[in-house]
Chain A
Amino acid sequence: MGQQTQDLVPLSGFVFTMSEPMEATETKPSWVGRGITRVEDDPLLRGREWFIDDIDPLPHAGHAAIVRSPFAHAQIRSIDVSAALAVDGVIGVVTGAEIAAITQPFPSVLDVPIDYRPAAYECVRFAGEPVAVVVARDRYVAEDAAALVVVDYDPQPVVADPASAAEPTAIRLHAATTSNVVSDRTFRYGDPEQAFATAVLVVRRRFRHPRNSATPVETYGVIANWDESRGGVDAWANFQGPFTLHGVAAAALGIPASKLRLCTPPASGGSYGIKSAVFVYVVLMAAVSRVLGIPVRWTEDRGEHLLASSSATERLTEIAAGFDADGKLVALDLDLLDDVGAYVRAPEPATLYRMHGCLTGAYDVQNLAVRSRVVVTNRAPTGLNRGFGGPQLYYPLERTMMIAAGELGLDHAELIRRNLVRSEQMPYRAAAGAIYDSGDYLRCFDEALELADYDELLAFRDAKRAQGRLVGIGLAVVVEPSVSNMGYISLAQPAEVRARGLPKTGNSEGVSIAMGPHGGVTVRFTSTPQGQGHRTVAAQIVADALGVSLEDVDVRTEADTSANPWTVSSGNYSSRFSAVVASAIHHAATLLADRLKTLAAHELGCPPEAVVLSDGKARSSDDGERSISIRRLAGGAHWNPAGTGAVGDVGGLALTATYTIPLPEPDADDRCNTSAVYGFIADVAIVEVDAETGQVQVLRYATVHDAGRILNPLIADGQMMGGLAHGLGAALLEEHRYDEDGNLMTASFLDYLPPTATELPPVRHRAIETPSPTTPLGAKGLGEGNTMSAPACLANAVADAIGIDAVPIPLTPARVWALLQGEAE
């Protein structure tokens, strides 16, 4: 680690405003809170980091290519692999039927008879579903042979959208089910009927949140080997967790979870949720390895990724919001229908429930009715995608608030102000059970208006409108939950069914930390980062706790379920790093510090509580003159434990500790604190719409976050900007479009359009730090934020610009143009 890693980053003056690095408040400068550059950068900048396609843990692995269905729904009459087998260099071809014979259906939280396997064997239910796997000496040959596998399909009627799939008369995807609607739950909190009855205004609208995907630039990759003698599997994949899925994969393989060794390479090329679903291919390649008796490796190509990896759910929402004469939101009714694709792939239907506790968003309303339905369609299975449930919620909710403001004759900002949860209500129990731990939403919102120069925006808009131009302002406020409560998914089951099962409240992370004989510290945990700088922040936390320098701390984050500490909730999702993983790191480092203090007390002749660790030394606070180097303490503990007291309870200098934020299970009334902590974001945007071409230009975007204490402002700013780019893409460009036959129309990067540098607007950004009382460092998650808020904010801005309420996202030029022609969708 070079000198540069310790430098504070200069503030930038260009299009975005970085948050100020936090001042160290203690007398000794703290690493935590400083925007130091990352330890991750150097090998990445040199091209020396190891990604999944770079590693070769099992030499002589065969290279797989997957034969995929061109039909969204068809019976498989027969598969002829003879021509493929005849290709020089082909090792074997394994069909879905062979795989089905040695696997079990993937388990699901929903108790419905759906036989989901890693490859189809009698019936294909989405275009791109695997039907066979060719393994050859290299990928080129494997693709040659895959093109020669002849599959005789009998095409079946297709249900390619959630509304028609949910019709009682729709063709059923799974014969053993009674309906494509495979889960249907209703929830009622407070007295929504009474509240709606007294409301002076009820706004009712329908919204559609499309399928979209974060499309990481690195695709999926798997290396797997079936170990016949052990009856187990060794696998490497760019998996991101949640490690609940490890158990799902083991169950599908029919092996005890302890026999599935799942590892990740040191680096992963982005995920944003999407790579959680690589576990399906871990099972597929492990099964193929079992049949062929050799290790198998597979790197997904971009076509496969877009066609069949994963995406956000499409959600149809019917919302009703009731207001009293003062503009107070008194009741909310949400009817949610999530299209999860052809199978309910774990962790779905989690998109429906991740936000359940905070379905009322940032607003103080205790009367809530919810219907949550899951429907299967002939489309690729869905799953985690940045924001996970947040964009699906806030686009309808925030649009509805803006529409209500118009109908109430109130300024949108004023309506928001009247309804925000107040700081004096914190901790605030939301209607469906979330406990908002801290925050001053009103101040944050007002700061956003100030940061955006709201008055200037209003004047600009009005001046342009006077010239006939289409300029609009959008606002959005969102509560950003982080650290999922594993119990939330059990809301998919009624309370009486839940009561029969194991209660779930998990969110823990485990950390191993060890100090070597020369004082160097190694740290390991299972947060499976994909670019979020976990190693840097962990080093900051550990260096602070132990009083050592950053260079003395070496952090490893590659997962290995046979070696790492991990829990069922490990992984990189629900923005859990800065709230719970950082807490676990802090906890483990503090325990190690306590041991060092005990050893130092023995040497310094003072009580352990009087020992201070800093600058590589242990000092007595009673007598600052006396000190001993931490390196010497470590040497003593390793070489002379009996003589230095490093025995018994003090033990050595290696330990593993697990940290858990105490959370309740869902209660009998279906109230659930679905996440551990809750941040807040307020966004303001101004756009101009080209009336002739429908093109939307974002002229300014301002966002204010309160994610508690910021551990590294440089990294935090990067997360926020990245989240905003995803939100902008979702608002204006990105959608997995299917035709009525279930064919994906956006199956290459020529048609699926993430934003590039030229599409990003000027951004003003500010962070407010209200420390969380829940976490020891005061931090909350922040990685998803603007992905949740930006689609709502920009949809509001476009609606304001064009004077039309029903604005479907993404707001592509053709769509906006059609709206301007009076064509409603």
Chain B
Amino acid sequence: MNVEFAVNGRTYRRDIEDRRLLSDVLRHDLGLRGTHVGCEHGVCGACTVLVDGVASRSCLLLAVQVAGCEILTVEGLADPAGTLSPLQVAFSTHHGLQCGFCTPGILATATEALERGELTSRAAITDLLSGHLCRCTGYVGIIEAIADAAGLPPESERAL
């Protein structure tokens, strides 16, 4: 099926087999390898991208379904001059990534939530993160990075 959609501000027109997953089209047809595939059944969250501003698992979308949509992938998070977003910088500062494989999906999810102003507590951040698997960090650095980007103050440990 012939479809047209935009990724990171660039318009693509492609003839795509109906069954082809968006994750595969991004990675293998458009060369946007930053979107990673970890489970292909919508659990790990590594392939999450923004579709019209909404964080979505790209392994659970056929590419033909996003015809007419604007997609933002990890490659599009830095500004046009290449400066990393505050969220990206915070991930490095707080060691929120180790192997970095799950990172692009988490960045996508957190980017949307930050823009919507929904991250008003660390509990909101952990709830948001529950849709993503990270096997390296134990999530601590990720939570701190997102909290930093959300401007949350340090939180004291909850009482027993």
Contact = CB atoms under 8 A, between A and B. Distances in A.
The short answer to whether A and B are in direct contact, CB under 8 Å, is: yes
A42 B99 contact: no
A7 B93 contact: yes
Interface string B27-39: 1000011111111
B9 interface: no
Given A4-B89, A302-B38, A758-B127, A15 B95 contact: no
B138 A760 contact: yes
A718 B99 contact: no
A721 B141 contact: yes
Contacts of B22: none
Given A718-B141, A749-B133, A460 B36 contact: no
Interface string A743-758: 0000011100010111
A37 interface: yes
A656 B90 CA distance: 37
B117 to A, nearest CB: 20
Interface string A39-65: 011101111111101100000000000
B139 A760 contact: yes
A218 B125 CA distance: 24
B143 interface: yes
A722 interface: yes
Size class of the contact patch on chain B: 35 or more
Nearest to A728: B138
B160 A699 contact: yes
A237 to B, nearest CB: 16
B89 to A, nearest CB: 7
Contacts of B89: 4
B21 to A, nearest CB: 9
A460 B135 CA distance: 32
Interface in A756-771: 756-758, 760, 762-764
Interface in A704-751: 714-715, 717-718, 721-726, 748-750
Interface string A1-40: 0001001011011111000000000000000000001101
Interface string A647-675: 00000000000000000000000000000
Interface string B107-146: 1000000000000001001110111111111111111100
Contact of B100 (A12, A41, A53, A721): A41
A610 B136 CA distance: 45
A47 B104 contact: yes
B126 A47 contact: no
B156 A51 contact: no
Given A532-B98, A714-B95, A749-B41, A214 B135 contact: yes
A756 B135 contact: no
A700 interface: yes
B95 A717 contact: yes
Contacts of A10: 93
B97 interface: yes
Contacts of B144: 12, 14
B101 A218 contact: yes
A40 B103 CA distance: 13
Given A218-B38, A758-B126, A715 B135 contact: no
B129 A757 contact: yes
Nearest to A218: B101
B133 A721 contact: no
A756 B154 contact: no
Interface of A is mostly: loop
B43 interface: yes
B17 A13 contact: no
Interface stretch (A194-202, A226-234, A265-273): A265-273
A750 B41 contact: yes
Contact of B33 (A38, A50, A724): A50
Contact of A756 (B91, B93, B133): B133
A359 to B, nearest CB: 28
Contacts of A218: 36, 38, 99, 101
B28 to A, nearest CB: 8
A25 B139 CA distance: 32
Contact of B91 (A14, A41, A49): A41
A722 B130 contact: no
Nearest to A48: B34
Contact of A533 (B78, B98, B122): B98
Interface in A517-566: 530-533
B48 interface: no
A745 B139 CA distance: 27
A14 B143 contact: yes
Contacts of B150: none
B19 to A, nearest CB: 7
A214 B101 CA distance: 14
Interface in A122-177: 140
Interface string A265-298: 0011110100000000000000000000000000
A754 B130 CA distance: 11
Given A14-B122, A269-B99, A757-B126, A47 B133 contact: no
A276 B157 CA distance: 38
Given A4-B89, A758-B130, A721 B137 contact: yes
A140 B19 CA distance: 9
Contacts of B46: 217
Nearest to B99: A531
A583 interface: no
B92 A38 contact: yes
A15 B157 contact: yes
A270 B160 contact: no
Contacts of B88: 45-46
A454 to B, nearest CB: 12
B75 interface: yes
Contacts of B38: 217-219, 269, 302
Nearest to B131: A756
A244 to B, nearest CB: 23
A46 B101 contact: no
A215 interface: yes
Contacts of B91: 41, 45
Contacts of A54: 27, 33
Contacts of B130: 756-758
A722 B137 contact: yes
B20 A216 contact: no
A336 to B, nearest CB: 27
Nearest to B104: A47
Given A45-B97, A46-B78, A270-B99, A757 B143 contact: yes
Contacts of B147: 14
A15 B144 CA distance: 9
A301 interface: yes
A326 interface: no
Contacts of A699: 160
Contacts of A530: 99
A215 B103 contact: no
Contacts of A455: none
20 contacts: A7-B93, A9-B94, A13-B155, A45-B88, A46-B74, A46-B88, A53-B37, A217-B102, A269-B36, A301-B40, A460-B160, A531-B101, A531-B136, A699-B160, A717-B95, A721-B138, A748-B43, A750-B43, A757-B130, A760-B126
Q: Please provide the 5 A-B residue pairs with the shortest distance between their CB atoms, ordered closest to farther.
A: A47-B34, A269-B101, A531-B99, A44-B100, A13-B154
Given A216-B135, A302-B41, A722-B135, 13 more contacts: A44-B100, A45-B92, A47-B75, A51-B33, A214-B135, A217-B39, A267-B99, A456-B160, A686-B160, A714-B95, A718-B136, A721-B140, A756-B133
